[in-house]
Amino acid sequence: MNYREFYDEVVAWIEKNQTQAALYGFDSEEYFDWVYKSSAAICYKYPGNKLVKKQMMMLVYWIEEVYNEQMRGQ
C-alpha cells in the first residue's frame, strides 16, 4: 500500500468535506449522504485494509460527534 497516496486522499477528502458542508449545509441529509458514500468509496479502493477502514471511520465518527454536539447546543 502506498501510504502517501492514501493520506493524500484523506487530506483531499477532508478539504472536500468542508466544501460539501458549505454547499449542502452541515445538518442536511445530502451532506451526510456524501460523507457516508465518499468515505465508503475510499474504503472500497483499499479492500480489506484495516488502517483505511479505521481512518475513515474515525473521520465519520468525528463528524457525527460534532453534529450531535451542535444539535445539543454545546
pTM value?
0.90
pLDDT for the residue numbered 71: 87
pLDDT for the residue numbered 74: 63
Looking at the structure of the chain, the number of domains it has is 1
- The pLDDT tens digits along the chain (74 residues) read 999 999 999 999 999 999 999 999 999 999 999 999 999 999 999 999 999 999 999 999 999 999 999 988 86
Residue-number span of the structural domain to which 49 is assigned: 3-71
Whole-angstrom CA distances from 70 to 12, 18, 26, 27, 43 are 25, 16, 10, 9, 28
Residue 41, C-alpha cell as written in the block: 468509496
